Amino acid sequence: MTLAYHSQLRHRPYPDQVISGDFNSLQLETADDFAAYRAMAQSRWAPILVSFSQKYQILDRVLAAIEAHLDDDYDVLLTTLRVPGAMRFPKRYYDDRLFLVADLAMETARQVSRGARVLVMQEGLVRHPMETGQNELVLTLHNADAAATRFAACGQDLAALGFDPMPDLALAD
Amino acid sequence: MLELTAALYRKTGHWAPVARQGGAATADLLGRVLAEQLAGAVAGMDTSRIKRNFVVSTMLDLPFTSGWLNWADIAAATRRYGPELPAFDNLITGYECASWGYCLRYALKELEPGDQIALSVLDINVMNISYWQSNPNWGNSGFGLATIVLTVGRENQVECHMAKSVNAFGEFCLDLRRVSQQQPDVILVPPYFPRDIAAMYTKIVPEAQRTENLVDDWGHCFGADPWVGLIEEVVRGRNWQDTTYFATSVALNGYWTYAKLRLNPKGRFALLHDMAVPTVEEAA
């Protein structure tokens, strides 16, 4: 059985917070630098609703919600970490059941096939114009057994954080 | 204890001529070099023992975050160039230079003694981004590909740590001293850093308990440093067959790792010839 919560952050979660600019702007010195960043820039941008540190702040609260409701329901928690160079991830990311991979689908398929209970946190919170994503957060629990009530409660916590349920969210690559 | 069964390292420059052809050409060539080097590392081995096969990188993060490169494309290319090889599982960049240790922590949970893990430490400046050429935090970079195969033993010591303070490198160096005091017979293989930075560990860990900081020869090779260091032990004719080592790496943002290991006396350890920067024609 697989449970899923599709959602999207549509408003700034920390609207009145005064923050320091924590984006280390990219070094643009050579022709190759300009060519590289031009090649990687996105043609369409989702609204930027969080800073680098705010992204970790809110994802840490997502992990806290998972810890509160689903701690006994998974063996492996797979997620991504995009542009790691900016700052240290929150301590919850260090948990030895959590693993950061580039390709969630491939590792999920592998773990599911060996019968592991796999929780996948796929996030697309964007912070700068070279990042893909639509500010989505998709939580999926594979091989879940009798976890539906707790999974729904976790979803309610995520909605309270600002991740509006979007069951029909279509994700572009 | 873990056993290092094979380790190959190949140095390369930047690949900007390939990158100008786009992400698809770059993915194809990356898949090709990953497959070719793994084929060299496992030649003559029973590869059915390799249960996990990860690629780790420090600097290849933004091309993936932006979608310019996709792991699935690289994995597909590895299958084209090495259909007989164990499938490449995934790319891990989130723990930067310490990613190989976090892969081991994760993989060891499901592996049995005798199983093997392949790791490719891939740090090639494909787009020739100047930030990665050199940096005050680590000096001049060394780009290349390390391919290693580790065999799981009965009691395997792999430690992954996370810094508590802003001074992650200082915490790492103090932890190196802790390990050197707790297990004085084990030789540490620390990452390569400019001498004024490495001084933080060279001053507190006795010289006899660590391998040399070969930064002048190699630069800082990100997560490949300890594997280059172990190959150098063999190449330079050190007493490696009677030695237990701690491979170590540290990431700028505050993650570090150790793996205790011995080298297989019959293992394949080599520094390969530098990889020429591919020409555009080759990539097309």
Question: Residue A34 domain-assigned?
Answer: yes
* For testing contact with chain B, the best of A24, A32, A120 (most B CBs within 10 A): A32
Query: What pLDDT is recorded for position A42?
Result: 87
Q: Is A110 on the interface with B (CB under 8 A)?
A: yes
Question: Residue A22 domain-assigned?
Answer: no
Question: Residue A107 domain-assigned?
Answer: yes
Query: What pLDDT is recorded for position B284?
Result: 47
The Cα–Cα gap between B259 and B102 comes to 10
Q: State pLDDT tens for residues B8-22.
A: 999 998 888 889 899
Question: Residue A23 domain-assigned?
Answer: no
Query: What pLDDT is recorded for position A84?
Result: 60
pLDDT beyond 70 at A157? yes
CA nearest to A7, candidates A48, A45, A62, A84: A62
Our CA-based measurement puts residue A169 at a distance from the nearest CA of chain B, in whole angstroms, of 20
Q: State pLDDT tens for residues A83-135.
A: 766 789 999 999 999 999 999 999 999 999 999 999 999 999 998 888 899 99
- What average pLDDT does the structure give for chain A? 92
Using only C-alpha atoms, what is the Rg of chain B? 18
Assigned token pair, B14: 């930047």
Question: pTM for the whole thing?
Answer: 0.96
Closest-CA residue of chain B to A39: B68
pLDDT beyond 50 at A8? yes
Contacts of A56 in chain B (CB under 8 A): none
Three-state DSSP class for A18? Answer: coil
The Cα–Cα gap between B280 and B22 comes to 11
Q: Once rounded to an integer, what is the mean pLDDT over residues A2-7?
A: 96
The total number of structural domains in chain A stands at 1
Cβ of B16 and A32 within 8 Å? yes
Question: Residue A110 domain-assigned?
Answer: yes
Give this complex's ipTM: 0.95
Cβ of A82 and B61 within 8 Å? yes
Question: Residue A39 domain-assigned?
Answer: yes
Q: What burial class does residue B240 get, using C-beta atoms within 10 Å of its C-beta: 0-12 exposed, 13-18 middle, 19+ buried?
A: buried
The Cα–Cα gap between B240 and B217 comes to 20
A173 pLDDT band, cuts 50/70/90, is very low
Three-state DSSP class for A40? Answer: helix
Q: Is A22 on the interface with B (CB under 8 A)?
A: no
pLDDT beyond 80 at A23? no
Helix (H) or strand (E) holding B266: strand B255-271
Contacts of B257 (CB under 8 A, 6+ apart): B95, B98, B100, B101, B102, B104, B105, B158, B159, B160, B161, B248, B249, B250
Q: Could you tell me the domains of chain B?
A: 2-155 (3.40.47), 158-266 (3.40.47.10)
- What average pLDDT does the structure give for chain B? 95
A172 pLDDT band, cuts 50/70/90, is very low
Greater confidence (A168 vs B239) lies with B239
Q: Is A24 on the interface with B (CB under 8 A)?
A: no
Query: What pLDDT is recorded for position A20?
Result: 77
Q: State pLDDT tens for residues B190-237.
A: 999 999 999 999 999 999 999 999 999 999 999 999 999 999 999 999
Closest-CA residue of chain A to B163: A88
The Cα–Cα gap between B187 and B20 comes to 43
Query: What pLDDT is recorded for position A85?
Result: 61
The Cα–Cα gap between A126 and B93 comes to 18
CA nearest to B56, candidates B249, B190, B253: B249
Question: Residue A172 domain-assigned?
Answer: no
Determine what percent of chain A is predicted with pLDDT higher than 70: 95
Q: Is A27 on the interface with B (CB under 8 A)?
A: yes
Our CA-based measurement puts residue A34 at a distance from the nearest CA of chain B, in whole angstroms, of 9
Question: Residue A102 domain-assigned?
Answer: yes
Q: What residue numbers bound the domain in which A87 lies?
A: 3-11+30-165
Our CA-based measurement puts residue A44 at a distance from the nearest CA of chain B, in whole angstroms, of 12
Contacts of A89 in chain B (CB under 8 A): 94, 253
Query: What pLDDT is recorded for position B12?
Result: 92
Residues of chain B with pLDDT under 50: 283-284
